[in-house]
Amino acid sequence: MTTFTKTAIVALLSVSVLSSSAFADAEKGKKLYQKNLKEVCGFSGGVFAAKFKQAEWDKAYKAGTLNKKMTEACPDGKAYFESDKFKKTEEHMYNFVHDFAKDSGNIPSC
């Protein structure tokens, strides 16, 4: 195998890994919502994420009050949003709600 071919293969693998991880966060957040909150909240992840616009989710995340904003969207999920489990997965949940916010134009399949 030539050096060029090896370099091309490494570059393709790197791009595929990086692009899949870029989508993995929101996808993981969607799975977390389905597993932990869909039944508790009583509505789909699309309805949950669309409670607020992207700027509103951003503001809450940057202010460190995402759990309160999510509790506002789903009051019955308050115990989860205040748990250590949520703190460990907060970034994934943020990516999920940001990607599927009211003004994002995206609709999740959950």
pLDDT (0 to 100) of residue 3? 65
The answer to whether position 74 is within a domain reads yes
- With contact defined as beta carbons under 8 Å apart, do 31 and 93 qualify? no
pLDDT digits over 92-101, tens only?
999 999 999 9
Query: Binning pLDDT at 50, 70 and 90, where does residue 107 land?
Result: confident
The answer to whether position 6 is within a domain reads no
| Domains contained in the chain, number | 1
pLDDT (0 to 100) of residue 71? 96
The residue range of the domain holding 68 is 20-100
- With contact defined as beta carbons under 8 Å apart, do 26 and 85 qualify? no
The answer to whether position 73 is within a domain reads yes
d(CA 60, CA 53): 11
d(CA 109, CA 76): 22
Whether 17 shows a pLDDT value over 80: the answer reads no
The answer to whether position 105 is within a domain reads no
The answer to whether position 108 is within a domain reads no
